[in-house]
Amino acid sequence: MQLARGLDSGGIAATMSPPGPGAIQISRIMRPDDANIAGNVHGGTILKMIEEAGAIISTRHCNSQSGERCVAALARVERTDFLSPVCIGEVAHVSAEITYTSKRSVEVQVNVVSENILTGVKKVTNKATLWYVPLALQNVHKVLEVPPIQYAGKEQEEEGRRRYEEQKLERLETKERNGDVILPVINPDPYTVGHSQSSLIHLVGPSDCTMHGFVHGGVTMKLMDEVAGIVAARHCKTNIVTASVDAINFHEKIKKGSVITISGRMTFTSNKSMEIEVFVDADPFVDESQERYRAVSAFFTYVSLSKEGKPLPVPQLAVETEDERRRFEEGKGRYLQTKAKRQAKMQSLTQQ
């Protein structure tokens, strides 16, 4: 039996998908305020929907047994590629399924399909993996145990454990290199890091937060995508779209009433793509005992498009300092690694 509620004023519907209680689907029609001037839906809008689906299914699962009630908090989003743009008037269907549970975390895999409701044409636009931890309702600092799921076989469980250990290690490595800050540059030259770097300041209000009074992960990701988009547009001065997001790590929770600064800078350019580093710093003004801290960090990749939607060459980034050269080489390494993985995957598919 499929359970559904009708479209609300925001055009959102939530359903229990046919596979059973371990999967859900949410759908939403894309409106003009979801998109850029070219009609392409912002990547941050899709990321927010992905996180909403993940939060629903992981919170539901973590409360599936008797005991202390909790809310699942987003800890990490693995790399996600934007395979195809979503346009105004199309419906985005976001399906989520729990694929692994450790003692205190939940892995959720999410697929996004866009549907042209005039023609019926559907296409896969995104695939993402998210990790959540259950926080007790009465004590936000208490992480509860996660009910285990049933696996189809031992191999599936072992593969999930491998993914869990890999992301755990990567989170630790990312946290160790999170001391960078972005400083303003006076009269920067075109195509330099200082020319396109951007920041956005946001006061965290009740509508941004969970029942705990902490910011939704999807809200943070949407703001990060906005800043990354501004950096990319300043560099290219063309229509730009999100191509992919490297792992997003949520290091610390952000309280209601905090002022957050979302900063972005370009780190690398290839012939047709731009890598932008984005991080979020929080000033918890409601708690004067706590100092400013780094809450979230990630790398976004953008591409430049013509008016016809065709990829355009990207102006090369002009690096000026040793730190910029180091970050450029690190970005180049990530770019080549991703390219090699994509080529290996394509080769594997052709050999089947």
Say whether 231 sits in a helix, a strand or coil: helix
Give the number of other Cβ atoms within 10 Å of residue 228's Cβ: 30
321, burial (CB in 10 Å: exposed 0-12, middle 13-18, buried 19+): exposed
Active site residue 287: no
CB of 13 within 8 A of CB of 7? yes
What Rg value do the Cα atoms of the chain yield, rounded? 20
Closest CA to 236 of 200, 274, 180: 274
Catalytic residue among 36, 81, 111, 283: 36
Element (H, E) at 223: helix 217-236
Catalytic residue among 208, 225, 246, 281: 225
CB of 42 within 8 A of CB of 225? yes
Provide the 8-state DSSP code for 33. G
Cβ neighbors of 13 (< 8 A, separation 6 or more) are 4, 5, 6, 7, 26, 27, 28
Helices and strands in the chain: count of H runs, count of E runs = 5, 13
Whole-angstrom distance, CA of residue 75 vs CA of residue 171: 9
CA 252 to chain centre: 16
* Type of residue at 213: G
Closest CA to 115 of 95, 90, 86, 94: 90
Active site residue 81: no
Active site residues: 36, 225
